Chain A
Amino acid sequence: MADFDVPELKEYLEVPEPRENVTNHLAPFTAKPDHQTDLGFPAELVDNWKEVAIDKMGDLLGKYRSLRVFLDTCVHCGACTDKCHYYLGTTDANNMPVARQELLRKVYRRYFTFAGKYFPKLVGATDLTEEVLDDWYSYFHQCSQCRRCSVFCPYGIDTAEISMAAREIMDEVGKGQKYCNEIIAKVYKIGNNLGLPQPALADTLEGLEEDIEDETGVKVRLPLDEKGADILLITPSADFFAEPHVDGLMGYAKVFHEAGVSWTLSSEASEAANFGMFIGSYDNMRKLALRIRKAALDLGVKRIIFGECGHAWRVAYSFLNTLAGPFDFLDQKYPIPQHICEFTYDLLNENKLRMNKAENDHMTLTFHDSCNVARGAGMGGFEGGQFVIPRAVIKASCNNYYDMDDDTIHDATFCCGGGGGLLTDDLMEIRVKGAMPRMQALKQVTEEHGVTNLAAICAICKSQFAKTLPYFGFSMDQIVSVHQLVSNAIVLKGSEQEAELDGTADENGEAETA
């Protein structure tokens, strides 16, 4: 199936010996000139790229305390060396978080520190050369910015911040990555990552309404661009067509329907994902966030709710208020923004949803904590809510649930292997290898508890797993949306399912819908 070695799943996760240059060749396609210029970056590598890069580094050092402090404080203790899924999966030494940081740090030292200027050999400082730039391009695109390393570093050094800075420097000299930059430009031009125009969107939503009606006998609406709705739903565009994402979207729609709230999607902001974060660009991240503000204002909504998407939720939870706030025009009674899981969780707590867990009895589930939610964002307004709430929603929807090993869940969760702008076919090898630690933990619960399915609340995780599960002997449909489970279990008022449960269905099994 693959023209590279797929890591073998052992009984326990083993820490490999570091090897040099094993995955140096795994670099993504570079951005084409117009992908670059669309985002305000130079079309191609500029002639004086070294000076530009050093200047940019100086600029970022003055703008980001994280970068400044993280570059100074690492003591090379090595506590992070065995924490990155890409290191565990590839054995490449430069995928140890500290070694990855060091690629940038050695240049920082050379140009910005006393020791590096005068004793470069001693402290491991080097000039910025073409070779270094190529290493940056490879290895800073072999970091999914999952932040697992930051949990385990005694100083909280977050390699994601360093990768973001490195990518921003590379964009600034004209060496951008195709996948991220092309997608951001698509959002600016058409409104979403997939380039789905408004009519296609409307069409899809209509189709979904029909599907739900066929299945339940109830007309559940999926409105688009409806002025005056209470809630604006912002969701990753994968929810409009990909499996299993779309089942999640139908789940949200059913929940909104049962809650009796008015809601709408927006064709202007039909994308929750904010790839500006992946390339470390505050400007682009902000521009993408402002679309959401504008859509909310144009439609006159009172609340904003985000669908299942990991980094979208991080940007929404942690940065939206900063980037595009203040949101004083929204109803302050509700969290701004709110996560769909929070919304469903509240309804469940208020006993407003009728759930028939048996609908999911054909599955035994486990939950994959998505990095950007687990380590990058909160939920529910209490510490650790992001771990509790999705699990509570799953458990309200099914009878069989087991967690994976403690060292691989909650804030110690393993990345799916496809986050941070790596979800592109040209990086398949690194994606598969990076998925190994998660697959190993999954295998363990599969064997111990008969787990059949993995639920996630991130569009990237879902797409990544659908692709990578088969490499490890699982099948692609083992990954499910959390709201897909909700969708299966929820018993809509007046639905065929309700009639069946209450024994009011007629002989043909048809519900007596009012």
Chain B
Amino acid sequence: MSLVSALYVGLFYFATVFLVVGLVLRIKTYAQTPAPLKIPTMPAPRTETGVALRMFREVAFFESLFRSNKWIWLFGILFHFGMLLVLLRHLRYFTEPVWFWVNWVQPFGKYAAFAMLAGLLGLWARRFLVARIRYISTPSDHLMLALLVGIAMSGIGMSFLVHTDIISVKAFFLGMLHFSPQSLPTDPLLLVHLGLVATLMIIFPISKLLHAPGVFFSPTRNQTDSSREQRHIADWAKELEAGER
């Protein structure tokens, strides 16, 4: 195996472990931190089912964002749903045999990359063109968009311009999955693409990309409006009470 292949094997194992462990730890922190008061943004659903529906609308349709800003919503939807289709399509590099529905997604997934790119460019343009958003942008916001744009463009390049040896790429990833590493084709576009993806995986659990798990833990969105019916008290608050009454 070439040095490059060995490096990428190492990189992807590291990135995967970092991503998974990082996310698990973060989610654990969120889950274990008490929410001492009921603070749903009203009007809030009065039942658990209602909360699940509210969360679903938030995650699937970006409901609140739609209310606030149609441009951000449009670019956000293009990017996220483009990326979702692209990711689903990529499952074919990790499964053997390929699940039937992944084959269905395949043709859409290929073109979804353009939607993803368009969304990203739209979001990035706002960071330059709208003074308010320019003001709140940090270097890392730009870098993250650059990273994602790089991933999308190198991917599109491989799908439509300079095809890479897909069969070997799949062998490489299946090899990694079975802990028997194979070599990776070494065309530059692929190496750039994979390098950026691994970088993204590594920054995921230590950056604002935590919004992905975070949204599910947002008390303003995931709490029921039942504070008059049920007492809602955190353990640390119970301690305040002990011995007082």
Contacts and interface: CB of A to CB of B under 8 A. Distances in A.
B41 A156 contact: yes
A335 B225 CA distance: 14
Interface string A404-440: 0000000110000000000000000000000000000
A69 B140 contact: no
Interface string A83-123: 10000000001001011001000000000011100010111
B29 A68 contact: yes
A18 interface: yes
A386 B132 contact: no
B64 A76 contact: no
What's the interface size class on A, roughly?
Answer: 35 or more
A68 B33 contact: yes
Given A65-B30, A93-B135, A322 B232 contact: yes
Nearest to B33: A65
Interface in B101-142: 123, 126, 130-133, 135-141
A9 interface: no
A378 B43 contact: yes
Interface string A273-289: 00000000011001000
Interface stretch (B5-13, B191-199, B210-218): B210-218
B37 interface: yes
Contact of A376 (B33, B42, B50): B42
Contacts of B136: 76, 78, 81, 96, 98-99, 102
A385 B225 CA distance: 12
Interface in A353-389: 374-378, 381-387
User: Which has the most chain A C-beta neighbours within 10 Å: B215, B227, B237?
Assistant: B227
B176 interface: no
B180 interface: no
A114 B141 CA distance: 16
A475 interface: no
A325 B140 contact: no
B42 A78 contact: no
Contact of A152 (B38, B68, B219, B227): B68
User: Which residue, of B68, B138, B143, has the highest number of chain A Cβ atoms within 10 A?
Assistant: B68
Q: Considering residues A61, A282, A378, which has the most beta carbons from chain B within 10 angstroms of its beta carbon?
A: A378
B41 A73 contact: no
A112 B231 CA distance: 32
B240 A283 contact: yes
B125 to A, nearest CB: 12
A122 B140 contact: yes
Interface in A33-77: 61-66, 68-70, 72-77
A279 to B, nearest CB: 14
B43 A78 contact: no
B163 interface: no
Interface in B208-241: 208, 210-211, 214-215, 217-221, 225, 227-228, 230-234, 236-237, 240
A123 B140 contact: yes
B34 A386 contact: no
B220 A156 contact: yes
Interface string B29-67: 110011111110111111000100000001000101101
B143 to A, nearest CB: 7
Contacts of A153: 64, 68
A318 B227 contact: yes
Q: Tell me what chain B mostly uses at the interface: helix, strand, loop, or mixed.
A: helix
Given A78-B133, A124-B138, A375-B41, A154 B64 contact: yes
Nearest to B130: A78
A76 B137 contact: yes
B41 A411 contact: yes
A161 interface: yes
Contact of A69 (B64, B133, B214): B214
A147 B220 CA distance: 10
Contacts of B69: 78-79, 152
Contacts of B207: 115, 123
A329 interface: no
A82 B126 CA distance: 14
B151 to A, nearest CB: 17
B176 to A, nearest CB: 26
A10 to B, nearest CB: 18
A98 B133 CA distance: 10
Contact of B41 (A70, A114, A150, A325): A150
Contacts of B230: 321
Given A76-B137, A122-B138, A155-B211, A65 B43 contact: no
A321 B135 CA distance: 42
A59 to B, nearest CB: 10
B194 to A, nearest CB: 23
Contacts of B82: none
A127 B133 CA distance: 24
A156 B217 CA distance: 10
Contacts of A64: 33-36
B65 to A, nearest CB: 4
Nearest to B205: A114
B46 to A, nearest CB: 6
Contacts of B41: 147, 150-151, 156, 158, 375, 411
B206 interface: yes
A321 B65 contact: no
B155 interface: no
A50 to B, nearest CB: 23
B20 interface: no
A393 interface: no
Interface string B69-104: 100100010000000000000000000000000000
A122 B182 CA distance: 36
B67 A378 contact: no
B231 A321 contact: yes
B231 to A, nearest CB: 5
20 contacts: A17-B131, A63-B234, A64-B35, A69-B214, A75-B211, A93-B132, A122-B138, A123-B139, A124-B140, A147-B41, A150-B41, A152-B64, A154-B76, A155-B221, A157-B220, A158-B39, A317-B227, A318-B38, A321-B227, A321-B231
Given A155-B215, A336-B228, 13 more contacts: A77-B65, A77-B72, A80-B68, A96-B132, A119-B140, A123-B207, A154-B68, A155-B218, A156-B220, A282-B237, A286-B240, A317-B227, A322-B38
